[in-house]
Amino acid sequence: MIPTAIAPRPPAPAKLKILDVADQLFYNEGIHTVGVDRIITEAHVTKATFYKHYRSKDLLIVAYVEGRHLRAKQLIDEARSDLRDAADVLRALATLIGQIATRPGFHGCPFINAAAQFGDPSHPVRQAVSRHRGWERSLVAELVDELGHAAPEDAVDDLILFRDGALSGSNVGDPERAYRALARAIERIIAERSAGAAEQLLTA
């Protein structure tokens, strides 16, 4: 029997090793401060092997951002897997952010950090970050819609800003205080849902 589709080959071990090393260096030290030669040395690959898998540093950076997106999506999927109420999901996401921000080696949001190092919005790295942000906004919009918030666009804007602020504040300040501020802000959004529902009942 001839298969109707060919399964994609798994990534070569060298390619995974390069990306793993780049992921750690880019996040811990900054994208622009880490050169290709450093990655080649720490990944224990040849220059020919590096360029076989990544024709340029920019392509490797895009792969780094996309890899971080997949990991973020997996973490969020796991955090909300057993939850049905949108309010509980938002609380779980706040808890997840708090856990991430208090881990040793936390250096802020990898997507905000990456975007800050590329000023041109049309740059492939910025576009990769924008795709992640678009996915993130769609997720938050879905939860706000399930909440039945009276001003959904405002609520989505607020929640995204709260998330960004909590991660940035955790990086440069006290992560525990940043988490508590995020949790309070989310509770206010949830309470606005309840207040809006009560107002509708009174005016019906």
- Confidence tier at 5 by pLDDT (50, 70, 90): very low
Question: Tokens 């720490």, residue?
Answer: 42
Same domain for 107 and 187, yes or no, is yes
Same domain for 40 and 106, yes or no, is no
Distance CA 163, CA 169 (A): 10
Distance CA 100, CA 17 (A): 24
Q: How many domains does the chain have?
A: 2
> How many Å separate Cα 160 from the centre of its chain?
11
Same domain for 49 and 119, yes or no, is no
Same domain for 67 and 50, yes or no, is no
Distance CA 168, CA 178 (A): 9
Distance CA 32, CA 81 (A): 37
**Residue 164 is part of a domain; what is its CATH number?**
1.10.357.10
Taking only the tens place, the pLDDT of each residue in 131-174 is 999 999 999 999 999 999 999 999 999 999 999 999 999 999 99
The residues near 123 (Cβ < 8 Å, ≥ 6 apart) are 58
Q: pTM to 2 decimals?
A: 0.87
Asked whether the predicted pLDDT for residue 202 surpasses 50, the reply is no
Same domain for 50 and 77, yes or no, is no
Domain encompassing residue 199:
63-203
Q: Is residue 6 part of a domain?
A: no
Taking only the tens place, the pLDDT of each residue in 23-37 is 999 999 999 999 999
**Residue 48 is part of a domain; what is its CATH number?**
1.10.10.60
